Amino acid sequence: MSEFISRHPNLKKVFFHELGHYIAEELNEKHFGTAPTKLISFQTNIQGEENHHLIQYSGKQVSEDENNFNWEPPYNSIDSVPYKIASILYGCIFQYLYNFSSEVENCYRGNGENDAARITHCSIIFFQGQKRVDKLKAIYSLAQEHAKVLSSTKLRDIILEWDLKRLLNQKNEIYHLEVDLSNLSLVSTEIIEIIEKKYLVFVDDLRNVITNS
């Protein structure tokens, strides 16, 4: 497994992305009473070690509450939008920690495009016209600023020291992996302590953007 991981750097990038969602959801559960994460998995359609250099993993995260990101009534309270948006943004924010070479917003045009689609869907429900455009611009700007705040910490170094083979379980074949959430909960305690106050400030900043006219 360790050799396989070393040969597939895309897996590390996607792991950072899904870790961001997970950390945000852990903090949302603690502070806002949301449901915990039930599953984190990684998969690819490419088979065969001879094609290992072509493999691009995608990640999937499932909440114990299937309506966790449902923007329709009765789950569309404006009060819940800031921390829901924060959780969606945190995937690309953490991916930025893995690779500082690009802006956070570039992630939302790549493997974070589904995250961007959920944010866009939310904005259509709550805002119209130029206000919607301005709100989205402000939201992504806050994400970039927050990513730079986190990049000044030791988060990246701490995460890169983790032994991924202890956190990933092989399901059926090496091309379908699931995160051991019990082990992830243990090792992530340190980074949650580093992030917690900063995350709550980020949520408050998002609330100011989203709720102010």
- Both tokens of 110, joined, read 């790549």
Stated length of the chain? 213
Domain boundaries, the chain: 2-211
Residues of the chain under the 70 pLDDT cut: 1-9, 45-55, 69, 71-75, 101-102, 171-175
Q: Using one digit for the tens of pLDDT, what is the confidence trace for 82-92?
A: 999 999 999 99
The predicted model scores a pTM of 0.89
Is residue 102 a contact partner of residue 90, using CB atoms and an 8 Å limit?
A: no
Q: Using one digit for the tens of pLDDT, what is the confidence trace for 127-147?
A: 989 999 999 999 999 999 999
Can you tell me the distance from the alpha carbon of 213 to that of 114, in angstroms, rounded to the nearest whole number? 27
Please provide the DSSP assignment of the chain as one string.
-HHHHHT-HHHHHHHHHHHHHHHHHHHHHHHH-PPPEEEEEEE-S--SGGGGGG---EEEEEESSTTTT--STTS--GGGHHHHHHHHHHHHHHHHHH-TTS-HHHHTTTTTHHHHHHHHHHHHHH--HHHHHHHHHHHHHHHHHHHHHHHTSSHHHHHHTS-GGGTEEEESEEEEEEE-HHHHHHHTHHHHHHHHHHHHHHHHHHHHHHH--
The letter for the amino acid at 172 is N
What's the confidence (pLDDT) of residue 43? 81
Report which of 25, 38, 206, 19 is spatially closest to residue 94, judged by C-alpha positions.
19
What's the confidence (pLDDT) of residue 155? 95
What's the confidence (pLDDT) of residue 188? 96
What's the confidence (pLDDT) of residue 150? 95
Report which of 100, 103, 105, 71 is spatially closest to residue 85, judged by C-alpha positions.
71
